[in-house]
Structures are given as C-alpha cells and as structure tokens.
Amino acid sequence: MKTIYLDNNATTMVAPEVLSAMLPFLRDDYGNPSSMHSFGGKVAAFVDKAREQCAALIGAKRASEILFTSGGTESDNTAIMAVLHADPLKKHIIISAVEHPAVRSLCQALAKRGYQVSEIGVDKDGLFDMTEFKASLRSDTAIVSVMWANNETGVIFPIEEIANICADKGIPFHTDAVQAVGKVDMDVSKMPIDFLSASGHKLHGPKGVGFLYIRRGAKFEPLIIGGHQEKGRRGGTENVPAIVGLGKAAEMAKLHMKEENTSVRALRDRLENEIVSKVKDCRVNGDKVMRLPNTANIGFDNIEGEAILLLMNEHGICASSGSACTSGSLEPSHVLRAMKIPFNRAHGSIRYSLSRYNTKEEIDFTIEKMPEIVKKLRSISPFK
Amino acid sequence: MWEYTEKVKDHFLHPRNVGEIENPDGIGEVGSMACGDALRLTFKLDANKRISDVRFKTFGCASAIASSSALTEIIKGMTLEEASKVTNKDIANYLGGLPEAKMHCSVMGREALQAAIDYYHGIKPEQKKMLEGKIVCECFGVTEKEIRDAIKINHLTTVDEVTNYTKAGGGCGKCHDEIAAIIKKVFLEASDEAKKERSETQFDLLTNIQKINKLTEFLNAKIRPTLKRDGGDLELIDLDNNIVFIKLEGACAGCIGAASTMKDFIEHKLNAELSPKLKVKQI
C-alpha cells in the first residue's frame, strides 16, 4: 500500500538533497569544528555556511544572529528563559492561548514558580485578540511570546503588529515560527522581533536540529551552559551533520517558497473544498484567509477523530487529529477549545498538512476516501 | 499511535451487532458528546429470559467501538443475572487487552450494560446516580461508586490509573485529592478484611490446646470486663468441634438476658475476631 503523507505539520520527509549534503559529515568529515587542526577546522566553514543559509531564509541581516539548537522546543525555552534571567525582577509573561506546548507548558511551569502568565484568547476563527493583548501589557511584563502560525489550524497571527507594539513599550518579543518558517515569506530585519524559533524537521531537514534567531543587541543568557561553542551562547559540540542538513533545507525552502504558496496552496484548497462539498456536516476550523498555505483542519460532526485516523490509515493516508483520544488527554486540543468549537466537531477534527512532495493523485485519492470513512463511522454513532 | 491487538482492530474495522432494536427490553445510554465517547445499548430477551438480540451504537475512538462490539458478543445468550456479572475486565480480556489509557472504554461498556439491565428492572438512570452517591469528577460526571468499583475490580493504586479506567480526574484536575483519598479508603477497607481473614484462618489452624489458650486470653481481655461492669462473670469450660462451652456466673447466671448475651454479644465477638466457625453454648 502506498503511503499518502498529509501530516507535514508533525514532521516532514528529509529532502534527498538535504540527505546528500549531510552524508559526508556522517562518514568522512567527522572532525570537530572547534579543533585546531585543519581536519576539524575545515568543518567549521560548513557550519558557518549553514548559518548564512538560515539567516537568508528569514531575512536576518547577520549570520551571527542565528544560534543552532536541538530544535523548536529548545529554541523556545532558550528565548524565554534568556529574557527572564536577564531581567529577573519582571514577573509577567504574555502568550497566546493556542501556543505549542514548548511555550505553553513552560509558562505553566513558570506560573508555579511565581510568574504571572496572561493567555491572550482567539476568536472562533482562531484569530488573535489584539484588544485583549493591548489591555494585558504591564510595566512588569518581562516577555511577549506569540506564535507566527498555529500548528493545528495553520492560522497566522499579526506578528509585525504585535512586534511593533512590544517595541514601543520596550518589551522583548519572541515568536515561535516553527510552522511558518519556509511557508511564509518573512523578513525579520524589517520587524522589531527579538527572538524567533525554527525547527529543521518541519522544513524537510533532519530531526534534532533547529535555530533561534537572536536580534543583535537583545539581552541574552545561555540556557545550556558549557563550552565556548556558538560564541558561548550554547554549550555542547555542534551537531554538524544536522546543522549542514538544516542549512541545505533552509536554502531549498527559500527556493520553493513560491511553489508553497501556489501549487501546494492549490492542492490544499482542492482537498478542503472537495471534502466540504462531498461530506455533510463538516466545517473548516480556522480563518480561510489568514492561514498557512499547506494546512486544512476540518471538523466532522458526531464522529471521533482517532477512529477517523485509523480508517484513513487503512488506506495509507496519514494525518492527525485534535480529538481527546489522540491528544493524549481526555479533552480535545486546547487550540480547538480556545476557539470554542462545539464538542461534537472538536472531537472529530482532522488536520491535513501538505508539502511540496504531495501530488494531485494523492489528494484526489483522499477526497475519494473521506466520504465513505465518515459515512461508516456515522452509521455506528448514536448522535445525528 | 496506540498499540491495539489484532482483536481490537478486527472489532473496530468489522464491528458486530451495530444498530438499535425497536421496542427493546433493555436500553442503556452512557457517556456524552463532551466526554468524547458515548454508547447506546439495546437488548431483547427470549422466552427463556435470555438475551436473544443485542445492538449498539457508539461515538468514540477505535477501542470504544471495539469494546462495545465485544460486549455484545459476550452477553448474547446470557440471562440478565449472568450478564450483570460481566466486568470491564472480561471485555478487555475478550479483546486480548486494551492500552492502559483506554481501559475507560471497557468500563463504559460495562456501565451501559448495567444501565440497560437497570432499565429492564424499572430503575431510572437518575435514581441510580442518586443511589451511587455524590459526583466526584464534575468534568466527566463520575460518581464515588463508579470510582470505587473500578479500583476494586482492577486493583488500581494511583490517580492516573483511576483516570485511565473511569476518566475521573482527566479534566480540570480539581478532584485529584479526593480520588487519592478514595483509593486510600478502599485500600484500608481491603486490608482490614484481609486482616480479619488472616486471624480467622490463623485461629482455625491452631491445635485444640492452643485454641483454648487463645480463647481464654480473648475472653479475659474482651468479654469478662464488660460482664463484670454489670456484676457478672463467666468461666470457659471446654472447646469441642468449634463449640465453646461457657458457664455464666454472678449476676449473669440468673439474668433473663443471658441467652442474648451469649448469642449476640459473646458469639458475635468471637466470630468477628477469632473465627466465624465458633458457636457458643451455655451450660
């Protein structure tokens, strides 16, 4: 059975070009970039190149503003803790109610250690509540951390506007851009963003690597303390093969940015429109316009997400769900709850996330299978 | 990805007995949309009062659907008395086991069955909830009785386990302390019973002389002081085949309440604390 991979917000295929770029550093060029000898030292040049590739993808002016990390979660933790350590007297944090656990769970833990956390709500389409945000700003607000795009719905937040408001008040601003980098054209040099998190495996790079953009001049304290690597901002020998792979993935993402917003978007729209027209009682979760080009989140009334996923799995179609049974808890995802989506639709919500490797045939096959899957489960459901 | 057995996958992909019986003898509904799973079970009895047909409709994940399907297969052909003895463990075992976090699916099956049997006997679900005492988990509407039953049948020891089996505590988390207290209570009750059992068997294993010594010790400590307060006393005469021969003395000897003292007080105490086999005889 052929695998139809529509779960690219969870992780992506490593691009063949990325793998080729990595292999020499897993085989022959295993030197340590910090070494004095040229066998190791020559590797440092490739790490620097990757840094430039990452900077170019997000529009950072200087490669030195890129700090390599182990991924999105470490980038998020590093940014938030850096600011809190640098200004220990400020005890208020602002995040959105729909942040990824890498930010949300960290802030919940900080709330137990004496911090006050304001979670800014979203409307029924998942759009950021700017009025509530403005009213929440305080003189002791240490940091504002708001994601660029939501991983479950793909809804995009007005990052430039939020960044400008923070800059006016002199409050450090961080954005978790893990889902947006490579899908949304961005230029951080034109916005007062202090920190931006990205992850390799969401843009056809390897797992276990990511980066944090740190605007030059932003106050910073390292999270991982050790050797002098990364200019003393993160201890630990560089994960050279992964960093080189991330650089290559960043370069390719920039090259394919247009494709992402034309052909991938067209496939996503086709999938979404066809399902909504062929299946009764279902609805797109999230704003239709302010949304990533690759993400479609559809709620099917009166059936449960895990059961839908397993029936899709029988056809080789991979996706994910915000239902209780798949979120590892007993309640539907905090994102869908924050949008106040009714329970009967939240439990039956499926996220389809595409990539430039998906084909029209795959999308058409999925469009063909969804109505029968929904019909089968509705015939078992006691709700109508 | 959940680790489901082949049997769970089979019952999920090909569920048995889906549907609803018209004019059923029993109907049980549990769960809700908010809870993320719900089950409606209907059955019909034949002339011999056995379940001749049973159907289900389930909203829920793969293991909820498979548990419902398994339940219908298990109870088909049973009398209601037999069916009421089916536990959530039986459902899970029938499916070759369920992931720990999915055990509540088997409990939901069990509850729907009980509700359908109650319906047959004319007990309404609201009455039932009232009989079962207060709701501990407000988020999922779980009563203390439901939590206690799950703890006892499945030998649960942590709040997480109770959540996996009953959903109680899976929402806001406010009831975690209360669930922990219930676990402790059930554990203490169980250990009290075990202790009682232990002392009973221990007494029964003694030789006759050891038994008489133990009896004397027990009467001196626990019985005679009470009698003496009323100016009476007793003497242990003999022990033969678990019959304790006792002679009442002092005020007790001529008391009209002597027979009831013997039976209700002395024999009751001996049964509770030494062995349920002991009988008291006055001479």
Reported as a pLDDT band with limits 50, 70 and 90, residue B210 is: confident
Report the residue of chain A nearest B59, measured CA to CA.
A381
Q: Give every residue of chain A whose pLDDT is below 50, as ranges.
A: none
Whether residues B23 and B119 share a domain: the answer is yes
Domain extent at residue A339:
4-11+256-380
Give the CA count within 13 Å in the CB-facing half-sphere of B69. 22
Residue B221 has pLDDT above 90, yes or no: no
Q: Name all contacts of A190-193 with Cβ < 8 Å and 24+ positions apart.
A: A190/A59, A191/A159, A191/A160, A191/A163, A191/A164, A192/A163, A192/A164, A192/A166, A192/A167, A193/A159, A193/A163
Whether residues A263 and A224 share a domain: the answer is no
Q: Does B40 touch chain A if contact means CB atoms closer than 8 Å?
A: yes
| Strand order across the B279-282 sheet | B232-240, B243-250, B279-282
Residue B200 has pLDDT above 60, yes or no: no
CA distance A33 to A45: 8
**Token digits of residue B167:** 């959903």
Angle at A383 between CA A376 and CA B110, to 5 degrees: 90
Whether residues A40 and A90 share a domain: the answer is yes
- Number of domains into which chain A is organized: 2
Single-letter amino acid code for the residue at B269? K
Return the HEC string of chain B.
Answer: CCCCCHHHHHHHHCCCCECCCCCCCEEEEEEECCCCEEEEEEEEECCCCEEEEEEEEEECCHHHHHHHHHHHHHHCCCEHHHHHCCCHHHHHHHCCCCCHHHHHHHHHHHHHHHHHHHHHCCCCHHHHHHHCCCEEECCCCEEHHHHHHHHHHHCCCCHHHHHHHHCCCCCCCCCHHHHHHHHHHHHHHHHHHHHHHHHHHHHHHCCHHHHHHHHHHHHHHHHHHHHHHCCEEEEEEEEECCEEEEEEEECCCCCCCHHHHHHHHHHHHHHHHCCCCCEEEEC
Within-domain flag for B51: yes
- Alpha-helix runs per DSSP H in chain A: 16-27, 38-58, 72-86, 101-112, 130-136, 159-169, 240-259, 265-278, 305-313, 324-327, 334-338, 343-346, 360-380
Whether residues A239 and A159 share a domain: the answer is yes
Angle at B124 between CA B122 and CA B130, to 5 degrees: 130
Residue B165 has pLDDT above 70, yes or no: yes
| Strand order across the A282-284 sheet | A282-284, A295-300, A349-353, A320-321
Q: A66: Cβ–Cβ under 8 A, 6 or more apart, which residues? A: A51, A54, A55, A60, A211, A212, A213, A214
Count how many pairs of residues, chain A against chain B, have C-beta atoms within 8 Å.
Answer: 69
Whether residues B40 and B141 share a domain: the answer is no
Reported as a pLDDT band with limits 50, 70 and 90, residue B127 is: low
Among B115, B131, B147, give the residue marking a domain's end. Answer: B131
Query: In which residue are the tokens 């292999």 written?
Result: A23
The predicted pLDDT at position B123 comes to 84
A189 min Cα distance to partner chain B (Å): 41
A331 contacts in B (CB within 8 Å)? Answer: 36, 139, 170-171
Whether residues B49 and B151 share a domain: the answer is no
CATH number for the domain including A330?
3.90.1150.10
pLDDT tens digit sequence for A19-36: 999 999 999 999 999 999
Q: Report the residue count for chain A.
A: 384
Whether residues A324 and A209 share a domain: the answer is no
Q: What is the ipTM of this complex?
A: 0.89
Whether residues B127 and B6 share a domain: the answer is yes
Minimal CA–CA distance to A288: which of A318, A268, A260, A302? A268
Minimal CA–CA distance to A311: which of A380, A222, A384? A380
Whether residues A96 and A176 share a domain: the answer is yes
Minimal CA–CA distance to B41: which of B61, B62, B68? B68
Among B81, B98, B131, give the residue marking a domain's end. Answer: B131
Whether residues A249 and A260 share a domain: the answer is no
Whether residues A74 and A98 share a domain: the answer is yes
Single-letter amino acid code for the residue at B122? G
| Mean pLDDT calculated for residue range B151-175 | 88
Among A200, A225, A253, give the residue marking a domain's end. Answer: A253
Q: Does B39 touch chain A if contact means CB atoms closer than 8 Å?
A: yes
Suggest the residue from A301, A304, A309 to mutate for an interface test with chain B (most B CBs closer than 10 A). Answer: A304
CA distance A337 to B172: 13
Within-domain flag for B200: no
Whether residues A45 and A162 share a domain: the answer is yes
Minimal CA–CA distance to A321: which of A293, A352, A344? A352
Whether residues A333 and A344 share a domain: the answer is yes
Whether residues B253 and B185 share a domain: the answer is no
pLDDT tens digit sequence for B62-121: 999 999 999 999 999 999 999 999 999 999 999 999 998 888 889 899 999 999 999 999
Within-domain flag for B106: yes
Among A221, A253, A285, give the residue marking a domain's end. Answer: A253
Whether residues B121 and B149 share a domain: the answer is no
Angle at A362 between CA A358 and CA A368, to 5 degrees: 145
Whether residues A278 and A247 share a domain: the answer is no
**Token digits of residue A365:** 């096959």
Four-residue CA torsion sign, A265, A268, A272, A273: positive
Reported as a pLDDT band with limits 50, 70 and 90, residue B219 is: confident
The predicted pLDDT at position B126 comes to 66
Whether residues B67 and B106 share a domain: the answer is yes
**Which secondary-structure segment (H or E) carries A210?**
strand A210-214
Whether residues B4 and B123 share a domain: the answer is yes
Tell me whether residues A382 and B58 touch, CB distance under 8 A: yes
- Number of domains into which chain B is organized: 3
Through-space distance between the first and last CA atoms of chain A, rounded to whole angstroms: 33
Cα–Cα distances (Å) from A152 to A37, A110, A284, in that order, read 47, 24, 12
Q: Which residues of A are catalytic?
A: 325
Residues 100-129 of A with CB under 8 A from B: none
Tell me whether residues B33 and A330 touch, CB distance under 8 A: no
Contact B41, B53 (CB under 8 A): no
Among A236, A253, A270, give the residue marking a domain's end. Answer: A253
Whether residues B155 and B40 share a domain: the answer is no
Average pLDDT over chain B reads 87
Report the residue of chain A nearest B166, measured CA to CA.
A330
Whether residues B50 and B118 share a domain: the answer is yes
Residue B128 has pLDDT above 90, yes or no: no
pTM comes to 0.81
What is the DSSP-derived secondary structure letter of residue A7? B
A303 contacts in B (CB within 8 Å)? Answer: 59
A383 contacts in B (CB within 8 Å)? Answer: 33, 38, 59
SS3 A24: helix
B172 contacts in A (CB within 8 Å)? Answer: none
Q: Does B64 touch chain A if contact means CB atoms closer than 8 Å?
A: yes
- Stronger pLDDT, B173 or A188, i.e. the higher one: A188
The predicted pLDDT at position B277 comes to 84
Q: What percent of chain A has pLDDT over 90?
A: 95
Tell me whether residues B12 and A324 touch, CB distance under 8 A: no
Within-domain flag for B201: no
CA distance A1 to A20: 27
Domain extent at residue B93:
1-131
Whether residues A117 and A224 share a domain: the answer is yes
Beta bridge partners of B249: B233
Whether residues B231 and B191 share a domain: the answer is no
Residues 126-165 of B with CB under 8 A from A: 139-140, 163
Q: Does A357 touch chain B if contact means CB atoms closer than 8 Å?
A: no
Whether residues B76 and B149 share a domain: the answer is no
The predicted pLDDT at position B206 comes to 81
Among B131, B146, B161, give the residue marking a domain's end. Answer: B131
The predicted pLDDT at position A326 comes to 63
Q: Which of B18, B36, B102 sits opposite A380 (nearest CB)?
A: B18
Whether residues A297 and A344 share a domain: the answer is yes
pLDDT tens digit sequence for B20-65: 999 999 999 988 777 788 999 999 999 999 999 999 999 999 999 9
